[in-house]
Chain A
Amino acid sequence: MSEETVIKDHWALDFPMTEHSDKNEYVSFIEDVVSGDLKLINDKNSDILIFDQSDSRKNDFEFELFAIPEYSKTFAIQKRKYTAKTQKWIGYVIDIKENSFIAHLEELNDSTTYEIGEFDKFEILPDDLPLLSIGSTFYWSIGYLTNNSQRKKESTIKFRRLGNLSVEDFDRIKDKADNLFESINWEK
């Protein structure tokens, strides 16, 4: 088992599988499918094949389906986007107007003085709009984006999603608060 946290190959060389550094695991995966330990749970003609543990060892599939060239279609190299000359800020919302919002911005590479900027609400993805409120934090970046051999200037706003508090989180924080309260000699 690899003890390294390094990325062994670049994206392009992650696939096809014969050159993949983790190919042993994929080979054993194929063996599981062939032996029937794994079953396909969606359409075998799909581009994406999704597997789960079998109830029985019965195997419906022909081995040829999982020959390397066919199998590697499942792991097609994705088209990637690349960025360059990126400037980044972290901001929080200090005022919301009808069509825009104002934010306090700190440049990630220069956290000395801060800036104030105004942004169009339309720049926010619909999925992120519910996150827009006073105090919500976001990352803002500008730079060049290369996609499918096209390069253009781009601005990106991504609101931070930091997870909901669970009951365990709540209890843990409450314990900490109680401990803080009890360990200080407060005036009566």
Chain B
Amino acid sequence: MLLEKRQIYNFSLVALGDFNPKIIQPFWLANKGLIGEKEAEDANIELIHSELVKYSLTWVDIQIQQNRFELKSSQEPYFESIRDLFIGIFSKLQETPMKSFGINHIMHFSARDEQEMFNIGNNLAPLNNWDMLNNPRVLNLEIVENKRSDGFDGKIRVKIQPSDLLIGSNMGFSISINDHYSFQEKNQTTDNVLKLISSQWKSSFNSAQEIINKLEEKLFRL
């Protein structure tokens, strides 16, 4: 049922480490064979600065700061291309120190009406515990899996809140899943990070789907 209600699936790969934003410009990507030349020419550049680079191609938004690297897309056909681009970039920048990365799945689901929205919130956090407040409502709920069940260092964070994209008569709620991997060694080798992303890619999507499936039983309980 939830899959039918899903209207929007946004995805991002975020890495924390030490980056040099100015290197990773569209023409550098084209020069390395990671995007086409026309794509580089048509890139929508917002900012190019040594501390912050921000631009987008037709299928991905790229934002790089000195400590944070982010690729995101709202179009499912390109999620695997985001992974390819990430791996391609850091295969070329082998000495980049990275301390963690996150695979983010942010899905927006439509709700039938306000009553359904209320029921979802109430099922997540029973509102009769909040009867000291007048007309309490759940604004957002975030739960963290503090120790990953797959043995890797990191956490999984799940956040549910009203959707800021599905509003008005087309109201809805969003479920954001942050699949976060951190490294015990201060700076993991780039090769190991890329191997981890490659190996965990499918399971990240499968886990996200499993979380959604399990939540479905709970969210729509009467």
A and B touch in their complex, CB below 8 angstroms: yes
In the assembled complex, the Cα of A83 lies from the Cα of B77 at a distance in Å of 8
In the assembled complex, the Cα of A139 lies from the Cα of B165 at a distance in Å of 28
Find out whether the CB atom of B34 lies under 8 angstroms from the CB atom of A161.
yes
Find out whether the CB atom of B38 lies under 8 angstroms from the CB atom of A126.
yes
Find out whether the CB atom of B8 lies under 8 angstroms from the CB atom of A82.
yes
Question: In A115-159, which residues have CB < 8 Å from any B CB?
Answer: 125-128, 139, 141, 143, 145-146, 156, 158
Question: In A47-92, which residues have CB < 8 Å from any B CB?
Answer: 48-53, 74-75, 78, 80-84, 86, 88, 90
Determine if A177 is an interface residue (Cβ-Cβ < 8 Å): no
Find out whether the CB atom of A80 lies under 8 angstroms from the CB atom of B80.
no
Size band of the interface chain A makes with B:
35 or more
Find out whether the CB atom of A5 lies under 8 angstroms from the CB atom of B15.
yes
A3-B16, A10-B174, A83-B9 as given contacts; A51 in contact with B49, CB under 8 Å: yes
Chosen A-B contacts, 7 in total, with CB atoms closer than 8 Å, are A5-B101, A52-B50, A83-B76, A84-B7, A139-B77, A139-B80, A162-B84
Output the least CB separation between B209 and chain A (Å).
9
In the assembled complex, the Cα of A108 lies from the Cα of B35 at a distance in Å of 22
**Residue in contact with B88 in the complex, picked from A78, A83, A163, CB distance below 8 Å:** A163
In the assembled complex, the Cα of A139 lies from the Cα of B88 at a distance in Å of 16
Q: Which residues from B are CB-within-8-Å of A6? A: 14, 102, 104, 157, 159, 176, 178, 180
Find out whether the CB atom of B165 lies under 8 angstroms from the CB atom of A108.
no
A50-B47, A139-B80 as given contacts; A127 in contact with B37, CB under 8 Å: yes
In the assembled complex, the Cα of A160 lies from the Cα of B36 at a distance in Å of 10
Determine if B106 is an interface residue (Cβ-Cβ < 8 Å): yes
